[in-house]
């Protein structure tokens, strides 16, 4: 397979989607672990230290470039597969997995991915851009992200947007986690069953933790 085929052929696109998907799953583990520091309930000290470490040193910043590249590549390849499937079938996103009884979310990855993309735009606008702008124009000083979360999550509509984004992420992961490993050649039934259950657990625990973060601020669980 040539480099061009990796990004343009159906098989190459699915492999790229699988690899970038696993990379983003690893990122979610780091991100949810860092954000969970808010529950130390120490006024944001632990969370701000962790967040500022990620934003203030060159290694995390370099990985951040790779993260954005992975997100963009995952989105582009997903859209290409979506358009190809629509053109081939004349309908909305639906890949034939050889099972007409497949779950609705496995047939709606394009829709779920679009909702997650819109959520990402809101999330980046709420936190990442303000912090990076502050660093650039105020001699490297970072904002108090904990206080920023407190203020942002006092708005009910923002909390609802984040919860919808987390629900979409949960369903996206419920299929994508398992599908990524299967695409990469894991066909052993025992391993696939274990991966599928790990995927279900991951798709519940991680999005639930993310959803509880804005709720914790909005409902006053954190002071």
Convert the pLDDT of each residue in 71-91 to its tens digit: 999 988 888 887 777 777 655
Convert the pLDDT of each residue in 114-134 to its tens digit: 899 999 999 999 988 887 777
Sign of CA dihedral 52, 58, 61, 66: negative
90: left (phi over 0), alpha (psi -120 to 50) or beta: left
Percent of the chain with pLDDT over 70: 86
Query: pTM for this one?
Result: 0.84
How confident is the model at residue 152, as a pLDDT? 95
Mean pLDDT of the region 23-42: 94
Size (the chain), residues? 223
Are 142 and 134 in contact, with CB atoms under 8 Å apart? yes
Q: Give the burial class of 157: count Cβ atoms within 10 A of its Cβ; 0-12 exposed, 13-18 middle, 19 or more buried.
A: exposed
């Amino acid at each position: 397979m040539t480099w061009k085929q990796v990004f343009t052929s159906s098989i190459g696109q699915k492999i790229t989607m699988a690899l970038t998907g696993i990379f983003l799953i690893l990122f979610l583990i780091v991100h949810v672990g860092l954000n969970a520091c808010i529950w130390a309930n120490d006024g944001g000290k632990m969370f701000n230290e962790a967040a500022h470490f990620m934003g203030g040193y060159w290694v995390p910043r370099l990985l951040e470039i790779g993260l954005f590249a992975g997100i963009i590549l995952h989105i582009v390849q997903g859209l290409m597969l979506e358009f190809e499937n629509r053109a081939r079938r004349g309908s909305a996103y639906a890949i034939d997995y050889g099972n007409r009884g497949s779950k609705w979310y496995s047939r709606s990855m394009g829709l779920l991915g679009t909702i997650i993309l819109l959520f990402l735009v809101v999330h980046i606008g709420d936190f990442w851009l303000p912090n990076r702008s502050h660093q650039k124009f105020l001699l490297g000083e970072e904002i108090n992200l904990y206080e920023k979360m407190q203020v942002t999550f006092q708005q009910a509509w923002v909390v609802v947007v984040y919860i919808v984004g987390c629900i979409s992420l949960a369903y996206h992961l419920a299929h994508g986690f398992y599908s990524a490993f299967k695409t990469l050649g894991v066909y052993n039934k025992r391993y696939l069953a274990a991966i599928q259950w790990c995927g279900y657990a991951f798709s519940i625990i991680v999005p639930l933790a993310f959803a509880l973060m804005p709720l914790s601020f909005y409902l006053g669980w954190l002071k």
